């Protein structure tokens, strides 16, 4: 009898949704997401999707720009895959009906962003991510064999550690999932599990990421036995709206898309009104993000500024309103800033996790039947600094590759064997846990972790700062685990545990890299941008058995 595979997808951004569409042609798919299904980092993406579709462009040029932006650390084979297969994936989106912006002649409009030497960024005005997310969800809703569990959070990946007779952790059989509303935890078995849970920007207090970006997938994979790669490379987007104290805590910093600089916006020092990027790089405002972010940071520190200006008011007002309707409308209505008449106050904000779960070119992790795609994964394409608008492209490309590989691997013999073993998985054990009175500790730890990361593991780092941060993080993490082991599990507690672990992994990775490269800038060491495959790998520690496991 032919077995129909069951795929479990953790996350609902572009990578998870595109994978689900592909996999649904061959089996049943369950998508698990912590909040509303469209509350993903993809929805917040403004710029677009980079792909060499223009007649003036080609994948080789895209390849070269990606390597340069990546500060010499990119995996060249992974980049080759990205730029060539990316063209086909974007063409597939277009064929499916994705409404990218077109000019009056009906042809696709290509924007240009930092680090690109050609205009190759397809977009839907300045809200591409929101449009892509909505477009893919419509396709998902039309599929009867795709089930979506909103307000559900993964507690642990179900592996051989959870068998009644515990074995070595080499196979993943699904996940233990918390229903956030009811507080109940159930075992969701799956033949193949795919992490598509996004990044970890919320480990910092100032980030463009949504509140759900707490590094869950990275923490889940590491605890299950996966290696983690290059976590020292957190990308700071150079231009997020600087409005200190005007947004509620935890509100994502409003992103000012890089495409604005691609259309001529200029960075200026408010004290001197001088355009300063000419002092830092020959590409000025269109230099790679790591360089622009450090330049802004240097201006802020030298002159004691709270922000710099991004000015596009010299461009025609109708042009600005047409090209950046989301930014224009939001700033005018919410903050009384008219970008056609005045500059925008901006600061760098954490934007993207370039490292993550170590995977191969098909998205396979170290554990059997576990894949990782999108921002949670370290495919090698971003190196030491992600090229603008390569993130959505990476999500598409490696989702398609993972789906193709899994379909080929899903033989009846293997599925039957895994399902037989999975019958011995224990249910989640709630015994000896209680609701403590000290929930204030959770919110306090959130604040302290983020403060430590911002103060000591920011744009510019030093060995002294990192060591100090790690000592404190080790203490905090130990306290959190003690609290976790005796407490009824909640979403806040799961996110805190994951966030603390990701902070530890980031600092440990940063201490291992004895150089400045791309997004990792150390005052102790000189900068290198020559090609290097010296990745930072964090090996999983011995799995500590938790009494929650049955």
Q: Looking at the annotation, which residues are catalytic? A: 289
Task: Give the DSSP H or E segment for 261.
Answer: helix 258-262
SS3 state of residue 136? helix
Nearest to 40 by CA among 237, 214, 259: 214
Q: What is the DSSP string of 62-112?
A: HHHHHHHHTTT---HHHHHHHHHHHHHHHHHHHHHT----B-TTSPBPEE-
What backbone phi and psi angles, to 5 degrees, belong to 504? -60, -50
Nearest to 507 by CA among 547, 462, 544: 462
Nearest to 221 by CA among 370, 422, 88, 409: 370
* Residues listed for the chain: 550
Give the distance from CA 25 to its chain's centroid. Answer: 27
Nearest to 535 by CA among 511, 509, 504: 509
Instruction: Tokens for 547, please give them.
Output: 């009494």
Nearest to 460 by CA among 301, 275, 279, 230: 301
Q: Are 208 and 199 in contact (CB under 8 A)?
A: no
536: exposed, middle or buried (Cβ count in 10 Å: 0-12, 13-18, 19+)? buried
Q: Are 477 and 504 in contact (CB under 8 A)?
A: yes
Nearest to 358 by CA among 344, 346, 349, 370: 370
As beta bridge partners, residue 378 has 358
Q: How far is CA 254 from CA 46, 160, 334, in A?
A: 10, 43, 11
Q: Are 344 and 337 in contact (CB under 8 A)?
A: yes
Q: Are 249 and 234 in contact (CB under 8 A)?
A: no
Q: Which residues of 373-407 are buried (b: 16+ CB within 10 A; e: fewer)?
A: bbbbbbbbbbbbbbbbbbbbbbbbbbbbbbbebbb
Query: CB within 8 A of 303, min separation 6: which ones?
Result: 269, 271
């Amino acid at each position: 009898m032919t077995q129909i595979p069951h795929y479990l997808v953790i996350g609902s951004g572009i990578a998870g949704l595109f994978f689900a569409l592909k996999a649904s042609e061959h089996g049943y798919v369950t998508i698990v997401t912590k909040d509303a299904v469209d509350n993903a980092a993809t929805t917040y993406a403004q710029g677009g999707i980079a792909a060499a579709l223009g007649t003036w462009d080609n994948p080789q040029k895209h390849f070269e720009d990606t390597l340069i932006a990546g500060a010499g650390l990119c995996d060249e084979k992974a980049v080759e895959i990205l730029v060539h297969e990316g063209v086909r994936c974007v063409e597939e989106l277009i064929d499916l009906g994705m409404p990218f912006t077109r000019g009056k002649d009906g042809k696709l409009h290509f924007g240009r962003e930092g680090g690109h030497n050609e205009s190759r960024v397809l977009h839907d005005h300045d809200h591409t991510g929101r449009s892509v997310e909505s477009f893919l969800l419509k396709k998902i809703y039309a599929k009867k064999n795709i089930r979506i569990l909103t307000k559900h959070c993964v507690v642990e990946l179900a592996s051989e550690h959870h068998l009644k007779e515990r074995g070595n952790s080499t196979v993943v059989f699904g996940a233990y999932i918390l229903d956030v509303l009811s507080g109940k935890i159930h075992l969701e078995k799956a033949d193949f599990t795919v992490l598509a849970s996004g990044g970890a920007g919320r480990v910092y207090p100032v980030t463009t990421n949504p509140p759900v970006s707490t590094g869950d997938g990275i923490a889940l994979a590491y605890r299950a036995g996966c290696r983690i790669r290059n976590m020292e490379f957190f990308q700071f987007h150079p231009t997020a709206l600087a409005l200190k104290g005007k947004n509620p805590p935890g509100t994502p910093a409003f992103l000012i898309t890089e495409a604005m600089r691609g259309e001529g916006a200029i960075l200026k020092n408010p004290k001197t009104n001088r355009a300063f990027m000419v002092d830092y790089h020959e590409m000025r405002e269109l230099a790679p993000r790591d360089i622009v972010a450090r330049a802004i940071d240097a201006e802020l520190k030298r002159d004691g500024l709270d922000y710099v200006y991004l000015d596009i008011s010299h461009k025609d007002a109708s042009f600005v309103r047409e090209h950046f309707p989301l930014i224009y409308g939001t700033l005018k209505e919410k903050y009384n800033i008219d970008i056609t008449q005045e500059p925008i106050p901006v600061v760098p904000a954490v934007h993207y996790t370039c490292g993550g779960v170590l995977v191969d070119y098909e998205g396979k992790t170290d554990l059997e039947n576990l894949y990782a795609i999108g921002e949670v994964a370290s495919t090698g394409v971003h190196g030491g600094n992600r090229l603008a608008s390569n993130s959505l492209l990476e999500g598409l490309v490696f989702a398609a590759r993972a789906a193709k590989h899994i379909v080929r691997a899903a033989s009846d013999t293997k599925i039957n064997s895994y399902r037989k073993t999975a019958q011995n998985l224990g249910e989640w054990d709630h015994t000896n846990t209680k609701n403590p009175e000290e929930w204030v500790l959770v919110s306090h730890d959130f604040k302290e972790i983020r403060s430590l990361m911002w103060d000591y593991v920011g744009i510019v780092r030093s060995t002294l700062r990192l060591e100090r941060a790690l000592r404190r993080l080790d203490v905090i993490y130990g306290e959190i685990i003690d609290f976790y082991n005796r407490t009824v599990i909640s979403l806040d507690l799961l996110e805190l545990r994951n966030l603390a672990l990701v902070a530890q992994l980031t600092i440990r990775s940063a201490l291992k890299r004895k150089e400045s490269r791309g997004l990792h800038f150390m005052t102790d060491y000189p900068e290198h941008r020559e090609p290097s495959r010296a990745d930072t790998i964090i090996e999983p520690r011995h799995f500590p058995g938790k009494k929650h496991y049955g």
